[in-house]
Amino acid sequence: MSKPARVERDLLVFSIWAVLGSGGLCFLLEGFSRDSYLLSLIGIAAIVASFVAHFIVNGIFGVGFGPGEAALGIGVFGVILMVFIGGWAIGALSESDYWSGLTLFAVLALGLPVYLSTRYGLRGAFSHFHVRHADFEDSDQ
């Protein structure tokens, strides 16, 4: 991908997350703060919409997630998971918080194979995880 195209794609990705991602996070926090599962769901829907929009932009420009993006995504996912587990461990979660968190993780966890299968096909997605020894041997030769 040419440099100007890369810049345009990055601008679109930043814009998507600035609006949908940040807005979703605000709704999610509002849901946790007010113990409102509905508000949390709106937040989760906005975050999912951000991912979908991100996929569409990637599709238009014919690229996948960059290494930095993948690292950031996995890192944020890990941090949120740790905070959730910590909150659960000290008993700081209400029932609504608990269900909101579970819904978020379920959606994100489900989203990964769905994304991979839409991008690489079912078999191709599986191959991304299942690396055969023969592949290594071929590459060694």
Give the torsion through C-alpha atoms of 124, 128, 133, 134, to 10 deg.
40
Type of residue at 47 = I
Pick from 1, 2, 9, 14 the residue near another protein by CB under 8 A.
Answer: 14
Type of residue at 56 = I
Residue 130 in the binding site for another protein (CB under 8 A): no
Q: How far is the CB of 3 from another protein (least distance, A)?
A: 7
Type of residue at 58 = N
Which one of the spans 29-37, 50-58, 70-78, 126-134 is the region binding another protein (CB under 8 A)? 29-37
Per-residue DSSP letter, 131: -
Q: Binders of another protein among 84-113, rule CB under 8 A?
A: none
Residue whose C-alpha is closest to residue 57's, from 21, 89, 15: 15
Structure tokens belonging to residue 27: 């709704």
Q: Please say which residue, 18 or 79, places its beta carbon nearer to another protein.
A: 18
Pick from 1, 9, 30, 133 the residue near another protein by CB under 8 A.
Answer: 30
Pick from 19, 48, 49, 112 the residue near another protein by CB under 8 A.
Answer: 19
Under 8 Å between Cβ of 104 and 28? yes
Q: Give contact residues for another protein (rule: CB under 8 A).
A: 3-4, 7-8, 10-11, 14-15, 18-19, 22-23, 25-26, 29-30, 33
